[in-house]
Amino acid sequence: MQFINGKDSLVVDALDGLLRSSGGANLARLDGYPAIKVVLRTDHKHGRVAVVAGGGSGHEPAHASFVGKGMLTAAVCGEVFASPSVDAVFAAIMAVTGKGGCLVIIKNYTGDRLNFGLAVERARALGKKVEVVIVKDDIAMPDVLQPRGIAGVMLVEKVAGHYAERGADLRTVAAMTQKAADAVVSLGLSLSSCTLPGIGREDRVPDGKAELGLGIHGEPGVDLVNFEGARQAALVLLDRLFAAARPARSYALLVNNLGSTTALEMSLLANEVLASPRGAKIKLVLGPAILVSSLDMHGFSLSLLPLTPDFEKALLSPASPLVWPTVRTHVKPKLVKLPRETKNKRVKASRNSTLSALVSRACDILVAAEAKLNALDARVGDGDTGSTVAAAARNLKTGLPLMPLARLDRFFAATSELLSRSMGGSSGVLLAIFFSAASQSASEGASWQEALSAGLAKMMAHGGARPGDRTMIDAIAPALQALPAGLDAAAAAARAGADATARMKQARAGRSSHVPASNLNGIPDPGAEAIAILLAGLSKG
């Protein structure tokens, strides 16, 4: 399902939404919906060159969101993945072309070339000065006579917008834009196709594979390649781009999101490109950002433009359309030294065979319970309780030989530090608080049982949960109360507490508090279950 009213009204509804939310950004649309879908500047000076671009919708924010000072004068929008009509393109040209003339930028697809081309000829026949630049940046098929125009069009449009805004004549604007179009190269890779409005998605990309050299209209890539991770994907594209690009001292790079790739993934991909040996030659970076998308395609593309002083000035010049990420210089990450207080204090290791054996046994129990706890958490949370606990247990067991086992207060403190580093989520912090408070209490002379009780009190104070709130505390609290009677009694109390959480109708703390009560019924809290499993295993041992 998709958030649309219907295929027929999707584009016009979206364009009106864009204008309604533009905040008075000197934008308007030409009358003539639905056949004519044109967004244009209201502040364009007709003595200057107008820059018109466009094509099928589905590539948002391109091109309507790039109408504005320093970029496009008008964008002509077709239906999803369909070229706009000749009448729409002609109307756009006539609406914005004055004495300065008009530059029309066309992505190299047959429909766009024909419809935009005929509209240009009609305008010329009426005495309008119109020049055309066709963008052919896709290098997926190097031997094809008519390469496609893909995301590199954004760099070309920025160059055109710069020269038009500074008042250059049509011949200069067209010449500089043509130079950029001739120089830019692009290539894309995706892990999925896109979802066509009202139709659905064609799941043609198998697990472990990626499409290389795909277009921006949902068409298949030229090759289905093994997917071996982000680094391999980024470097494959980068190597091919540099092989195809003109030699230069430095380059501008566009890192484009094809639609549904997360910001986290895009930043990782940008890092792989810029940190690579070839990344040293990249001076300017645009993105990572969604600029020329293919609806919700899970993929990305890279575009490379060899830099000249003129191109560099054009890319760095101000532009203020609705969407335009700042072009930035490529810099290495700066490092600031950690404050002295945050550095881990080295504590001299000491031996305690009994405690070492107990902790080692506890770690083994939790690691063995990983799958069970994950399965339980998948029903009431995000399915990672077992993995989180097991990761902490593995780290604790590995670190045992380096820990101060002879003094309980120091052992508790070391455990707190280790858990805060290795155990993710709120449970890791809560247990780190638990052992930190226990350490403080033990250092003041409390017995180990009293120290653990003090840890529980601080854990509840900071975490806000109490017995009955459906958390791990429902197992920890009764276990500590029963502990003076022995480990078997503590294990039985923890089990009873964990089982009781399955009958609690609502969680008042933790991730399960956001889960409907109907989903919790009969399922124990994963944290409480982990405590019950741990103590049961220790009592048997």
Q: How many other CB atoms are there within 10 angstroms of residue 231's CB atom?
A: 15
The Cα–Cα gap between 79 and 9 comes to 9
What are the CA-CA distances from residue 450 to residues 293, 419, 536 (Å)? Answer: 60, 21, 21
- 217 tagged catalytic: yes
Active-site residue identified among 44, 59, 217, 330: 217
Nearest C-alpha neighbor of 32 from the set 84, 99, 102, 103: 84
Nearest 5°: the CA angle 54, 59, 60 is 95
Q: 353-368 and 526-540 are packed helices; what angle lies between their axes, rounded to 10 degrees?
A: 130
Q: How many other CB atoms are there within 10 angstroms of residue 27's CB atom?
A: 21
| Count of helices and strands (H, E) across the chain | 18, 17
What are the CA-CA distances from residue 147 to residues 107, 136, 140, 207, 485 (Å)? Answer: 10, 5, 8, 29, 79
Beta strands in 291-389 (DSSP E): 299-306, 320-321, 328-329
Would you say 40 and 50 are in contact if contact means Cβ atoms under 8 Å apart? no
- Are β-strands 102-107 and 130-135 bridged in parallel, bridged antiparallel, or unpaired? parallel
Specify the amino acid at residue 218: G
Give Rg (Cα) of the chain.
31
For residues 119-155, one letter each, b for 16 or more C-beta atoms within 10 angstroms of the residue's C-beta and e for the rest, the string is: bbebbeeeebbbbbbbbbbbbbeeeeeebbbbbbbbb
Q: Which residues are catalytic?
A: 217
